[in-house]
Structure 1
Amino acid sequence: MTRNLVAIFLVSLFTKTAVSAPSILNVSSTQWDALNVSVGGRLHAATPFALPCFSRYNNVNVSVDEAACRIIQANYTSPTFRLESFSANMQPQYETCMNTDSGCLLDSNNPGNPLATQGTSCNQGEISPYYIDVGVAADVQAAFQFAKQTGVPLSIKNTGHDYMGRTRQPNSLGIWTHSLQTMVYHSQFTPAMCDTSYRAITVGAGVTFGQVYKFADDNDSMFIGGYAQTIGASGGWMMGGGHSILAPTYGIGVDRVVEIKIVTPDGQLRTANACQNSDLFWALRGGGGGTFGIVIESTQMVEQRIPIQVINMTFTPTDENLQEFFEIAVNNSVDWAEQGWGGHINRAPPGLIYVNPRLSLDDATTSMSQITAFAQAYNGTSAIETLPSWYAFSSRFIAAEEAPVGNLLALGSRLIPKALFETAADRARIVAQLVNQTAELGFPYIGVATPIGFNYTAGTTSVTPAWRTSLWHLTAGTFWSYNSSVAEIRATLGTVHDYVHEQLTALAPDSGAYMNEGDVYESNYEDAYWGPNYQRLLAIKEKYDPDGLLDCWRCGKSLALVSP
């Protein structure tokens, strides 16, 4: 280890307040050097993402790096830029310690705003002082051994898409899986010790949807995944459920995975599938990322490359047309789901984007005639067309319109059951909820991305069974500013929590929620995220991690621990 690495570590150490600090203090430079040797020199020091723009770091004067700062300011809200930095999260509040207002943030609305940096210290926040850029499974095994010997906690980061802050922990040793970039296509893949074969693709833990969508397309295939190009295909998205706008036909992420290679906290590299380590495989299919081990790669089923029908509709909401739009969306949702439509009702721009792998263009046009007529009546836009493949859709509607990141977002959600769409009175309740939500929190984002039409074998995954009976994933969220106080941040999080509890949960009290996009203060997280599967997940957690080496918000020793 170089002297610079030690110096950075010591400077960052004394700015944090965390229960793990004594463990960090007790680790000698000799121990860090030994760890670095054991992982082939892949141990690195980490400083905050925006540090080059600040003249003080952990309350010590430093030099501003003008050139590096300009690059960061220009790309502060770019997901592809943040993807390449261990220190960056897509939602940067989790780079900070919100309880103590300790972090290093720019103004996401104007990254060049000098008020964000002048007279402000850039502090380490929750960024791990050290991280391992994992290249092979042995690196993870070394990290577990080090954590057990020293007491230093571990945190796991893949791409940084995390609304819960589970990828960060103060004073931890970071495990970064970004460099695990293998992709292998299998015309027939047979999981170890099994008999059934699948058309599949094996992806390393660092592979993103943008990469695997193209790779699948090059192999005349379609990979079922999420809506952001920079989400990891094998990480928390898949292990937390993994919704997709193709899910109504093909299932969610936990339905697609057939084998996982994972290093468990006892240091074993295990193969988990339906025939080997099957209890672990079940837990990984819904129990959440960062809970039972560190995934090295996963193998997931793919489909034949086929044309996709797409509708892209936008309008300008007004007092005159808002309720009518929601009435059309709600009243047609059961029929649309049965026909194979999945998609998003968008907040920016307001409207919807739906896809359908089942219908012809003529049938799709007929199916969506009511929403098209609505758009025409209110000077909106509506286009229905056939695209040659899912990759063509993702290139045009996902990659080209990738949402900016770098904002500070409080989010909550609820799965809305199909049963609530089946009577006029209940449909009216949903419409009223959406109109009221628009008035209070802005136009809602709704994921029409549940596996309602997928032929699921009961009990094979550990997500809440509410996924199987729901049509919508309804979210509620709001933002705060880079310079908000601790009290203001708590108030914002509290507003979303109260809204989810008093409105969304009240609308569907017997349903559940998507843990990857849930309220960070979900009052009944055990039932909301896992339902009857919770107790079994606890037992499996204890079996594979008896020393509690993996520990994070809603995914640690008891699947629920410290405040974010």
Structure 2
Amino acid sequence: MLTKLSALLLLLAFQRLVSAVNFAWEETQLTKDDIGIFNSVAFADTAPAPSIPVDSNVNLAASNGRECKVGPWDAAWPTEAEWAAFNASVDGALIKTVPQGAVCYPNNPHFDEAACAAVVQATGHSGGIVVDPSNIVQPWTAGESCNITETPIGICSLGGFPVYIVNATTVKHVQLGVNFARNKEIRLVVKNTGHDFAGRSVGAGALSIWLHNLQGQTFMSDFSGSNYRGPAARIAGGTQGWQVYNFMADNNISIVAPSESTVAILGGFTAVGGHSSLTSYHGMGSDQALQLQVVTADGRFLQVDTDNNADIFFAMRGGGGSTYGIVTSAIVKAFPPLTLQTAKFVWSGSLDANFSSPDINPSTGAITVDKEVFWSGVREWIQFSRSVSSAGGIGFSYIEPPSSTFMGPAPGLFQMTASFILPGQTLEDATAFLEPFFSTMTQLGIPLTQSNTTTITSQAYNTRRTGEGDPVGQTRFSSRLFPRTNWEDPALFNATVQSIRAAVEDGGYTVNAIPYAPTEEVAGFPNDAVNPAFRETLMHAIAFDSASPVKDGRVLPAKVVNAAHTRLDSFVAAWRKLTPGSGAYMNEADMQEPEWQQSFFGDHYPQLLQIKRRRDPWGVFWAPTTPGSEVWAVVVPDGLPLQTGPLCRT
């Protein structure tokens, strides 16, 4: 007879077993019976490819040696009958792409004046874009061929948007999309939420798999696996940040989730790194995954963890998105609830040579000081950020030139809009912790405590959110990870601050500086593919170019766009020179980053390239600047980094 203790242990074990099962829609998988005689959706041979030396010339090309992926411009493009058969296989989930802006073009059959007004309003924030199957947050990489505006110019065309889209609601749909694209040698792209700044979710002549409707969240109070034992959650592939925050509130837990409400917690967030308010407290988003459910390039559905397909488990946590497979769900770590203490402040710097004393700017409420005093304050904020990161917190700032319209400083003023975020502290702890910073700022001549913009507030990390998202725009940027060594050497630290000042003052760029420290220890030694540069980082900085590559709904001439990029790169090159061996965060980096293999992946790149070649010898998955991507290139006549041409072997 079972004792009460034995029964309890069995019950707990059963609860863990039940809680770890797949979502119901993950149990709908592709079978041989589904394939029947429609060989276009058959699985690939899964025999593992031999290990290929990294320096070899083996090409991840289609098996028949085609020079380019098949597109509508080819005789090999599937017939209408084949597309109809494919649509039937995916239960009618195939969408023929209609760009979101089509309703705004009078010469378009989808024209609808009222619908145009509604979509223009909706897409002012990212939440209005993520619900569309084709659009992305920075659509200029698709050529801006169908602009969302009530005053469109020209005609609406697909440009770099895919031709067809699978609205996936089961694993079977994902498998069929992968198999059809591979067998027909069509370019495959994957879109989750469309927070895509480098053209990784669009592609001319492509078939896209849209993950938005893969939904679900389940809490597990006691999960065991991948060298972890404790609370966890299974999250579906299409789940956005705001949904995760609401799930956290429902279960009184914390999960490392994107700060932007409409970014998906999986997809690029987990695949490339993923920073958040908890980066210095619990590590990167990639560090949280304990198990992944993945459709691989051969069309199979795999459980991926430390004991099963460990090579993919390593690669898909930080080693690049749209590269090794498609994640349908993941089990991620869950933590106790947290309170965030956030200190916010703004100060400005005057260009007036006769300015002599601090003043309150009537339009912003910020303390305004002399230009040199302004920059001494920026230096102190960056310096003190090291203490904040060491305490498990992060910083966030926008440093803007007088000409900026990014956050809207008054004309003739530099502006610093900044905050420190301290997880796990009480308001009293945070006030005491920040007192040395406020004291030093007062000594410098920037008495922040006198400004009505300076506040310290408490908020639960798992506060509920909505799906509206942040405002969107069209811009280019470049970034760099600054390592802790730049704080340890006084001369190097001064040069670091000066290089940021030069980008703002001489370049006219807005710099977004985000200090954090996702060390291996903080992350729990996860053994993942996160860029090793992150483990030494104390600040991620982005330089934004206010000059958009788009005007009147069309991408500017290549000469103009390339000249603007060359100028921006000249300032970020100074950052690279001060940070040898470091890198950049791929999700928020220059899409034309030089030596991107080292910059985005560091010493992990050779291993990641081997995994890519072994797991996807067909070259099914391709996205710019991901492992193995250099053997393919999008052919665009003017050489711009657009996705408007065929994908061909280099």
Q: Which residue in the other structure is 1:475 paired with?
A: 542
Q: Which residue in the other structure is 1:145 paired with?
A: 179
Asked if residue 539 in structure 1 is aligned to residue 539 in structure 2, the reply is no
Q: Which residue in the other structure is 1:236 paired with?
A: 268
> Hey, what's the Cα distance between the residues in 1 that align with 2:112 and 2:397?
42
Relative to the length of structure 2, the TM-score reads 0.76
Q: Which residue in the other structure is 1:334 paired with?
A: 386
Q: After superposition, what is the alpha-carbon deviation per residue over 1:267-299, rounded to whole angstroms, capped at 9, x for unaligned?
A: 110111112111110000111110001110111
SS in 2 for 1:50: helix
Q: Which residue in the other structure is 1:434 paired with?
A: 500
Q: Residues 378, 56 of structure 1: CA spacing in aligned structure 2 closer, same or farther, 3 A cutoff?
A: farther
User: 1:315 touches 1:375 (CA, 8 Å); kept in 2?
Assistant: no
The letter for the 2-side match of 1:308 is L
Task: Compute the displacement of 1:356 (Å).
Answer: 1.1
User: 2:261 touches 2:468 (CA, 8 Å); kept in 1?
Assistant: no
Q: Which residue in the other structure is 1:551 paired with?
A: 622
Task: Compute the displacement of 1:448 (Å).
Answer: 2.4
User: Which of these two proteins has the greater Rg computed from alpha carbons?
Assistant: 2
Q: Which residue in the other structure is 2:556 paired with?
A: 485
Q: After superposition, what is the alpha-carbon deviation per residue over 1:486-542, rounded to whole angstroms, capped at 9, x for unaligned?
A: 222233333333332x22211212211111111111111111111111111111111
Q: How does 1:264-343 map to 2 (within 5 A)?
A: 264-319=296-351, 320=370, 321-343=373-395
> Hey, what's the Cα distance between the residues in 1 that align with 2:570 and 2:526?
32
Task: Compute the displacement of 1:141 (Å).
Answer: 1.1
The letter for the 1-side match of 2:256 is I
The letter for the 2-side match of 1:324 is S
Asked if residue 358 in structure 1 is aligned to residue 410 in structure 2, the reply is no
Q: Which residue in the other structure is 1:127 paired with?
A: 161
Task: Compute the displacement of 1:560 (Å).
Answer: 6.7
Q: Residues 195, 341 of structure 1: CA spacing in aligned structure 2 closer, same or farther, 3 A cutoff?
A: closer
Structure 2: 5+ residue stretches without partners: 1-67, 352-369, 400-406, 409-415, 634-640, 643-650
Match of 1:169 among 167, 184, 203: 203
Match of 1:383 among 425, 446, 455: 455
Task: Compute the displacement of 1:149 (Å).
Answer: 2.3
> Hey, what's the Cα distance between the residues in 2 that align with 1:507 and 1:401?
39
SS in 2 for 1:324: helix
Relative to the length of structure 1, the TM-score reads 0.87
User: 1:27 touches 1:150 (CA, 8 Å); kept in 2?
Assistant: yes
User: 1:255 touches 1:461 (CA, 8 Å); kept in 2?
Assistant: yes
SS in 2 for 1:37: helix
Q: Which residue in the other structure is 2:145 paired with?
A: 103
> Hey, what's the Cα distance between the residues in 2 that align with 1:277 and 1:507?
39
User: 1:163 touches 1:516 (CA, 8 Å); kept in 2?
Assistant: yes
Q: Which residue in the other structure is 2:481 paired with?
A: 415
User: 1:330 touches 1:421 (CA, 8 Å); kept in 2?
Assistant: no
User: 1:24 touches 1:152 (CA, 8 Å); kept in 2?
Assistant: no
Asked if residue 68 in structure 1 is aligned to residue 100 in structure 2, the reply is no
RMSD between superposed Cα atoms in Å: 2.4
> Hey, what's the Cα distance between the residues in 2 that align with 1:138 and 1:494?
45
Task: Compute the displacement of 1:385 (Å).
Answer: 2.4
Q: Which residue in the other structure is 2:35 paired with?
A: none
User: 1:408 touches 1:482 (CA, 8 Å); kept in 2?
Assistant: no
SS in 2 for 1:223: coil
Q: After superposition, what is the alpha-carbon deviation per residue over 1:443-468, rounded to whole angstroms, capped at 9, x for unaligned?
A: 31112244148434667111221100
Q: Residues 123, 22 of structure 1: CA spacing in aligned structure 2 closer, same or farther, 3 A cutoff?
A: closer
Task: Compute the displacement of 1:400 (Å).
Answer: 10
User: 1:330 touches 1:427 (CA, 8 Å); kept in 2?
Assistant: no
> Hey, what's the Cα distance between the residues in 2 that align with 1:463 and 1:516?
12
Task: Compute the displacement of 1:367 (Å).
Answer: 2.4
% same residue: 25
Q: Residues 183, 448 of structure 1: CA spacing in aligned structure 2 closer, same or farther, 3 A cutoff?
A: same
The letter for the 2-side match of 1:229 is S
